[in-house]
């Protein structure tokens, strides 16, 4: 099982609640700029894949596509949604995992601000 939280206002959350499916994908360092741009852009009115030129690929066992430059993807079926303040906590059963240990993941944290750099 896997759990993650998203703001109640999240467009991705709307889609997850409607479809009861999600894929958690960890981008690699090749997507550093696109990842930051996506985080600062609302998906409800923007096709982020097109706008930020993100190459996508199918994920076996899911209709959801993932970025080509992704080191880990966890596909899950949502089994429960719990309200937690201004967020929803999504709990899901893992349907499949794809990983590539040869790719460097991004790490986002830099004391007072968000920055992206390769994970160690």
Q: Tens digit of pLDDT for each residue in 45-101?
A: 888 888 888 898 888 877 888 888 898 889 999 999 999 999 999 999 999 888 888
pLDDT tier, 116 (very low <50, low <70, confident <90, very high otherwise): very low
Structure tokens, 37: 């741009």
pLDDT of residue 114: 47
Q: How far apart are CA 60 and CA 86, in angstroms?
A: 33
Q: How far apart are CA 78 and CA 107, in angstroms?
A: 26
Structure tokens, 7: 């703001």
Taking alpha carbons only, the member of 69, 59, 68, 71 closest to residue 23 is 59
Tell how strand 56-58 and strand 70-84 pair up: unpaired
Q: How many CB atoms lie within 10 A of CB 105?
A: 17
Mean pLDDT along residues 5-15: 93
List CB contacts of 35: < 8 A, sequence separation 6 or more.
27, 106, 108, 116
């Amino acid at each position: 099982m896997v759990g993650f939280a998203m703001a109640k206002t999240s467009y991705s959350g709307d889609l997850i609640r409607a479809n009861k499916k999600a894929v958690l994908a960890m981008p690699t360092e090749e997507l550093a700029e696109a990842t930051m741009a996506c985080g600062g852009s609302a998906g409800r009115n923007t096709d982020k894949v097109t706008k930020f030129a993100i190459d996508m690929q199918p994920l076996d066992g899911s209709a959801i596509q993932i970025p080509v430059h992704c080191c880990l993807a966890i596909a899950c079926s949502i089994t429960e949604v719990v309200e937690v303040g201004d967020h929803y906590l999504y709990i899901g059963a893992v349907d499949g995992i794809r990983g590539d240990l040869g790719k460097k993941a991004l790490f986002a944290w830099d004391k007072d601000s968000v920055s992206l750099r390769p994970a160690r």
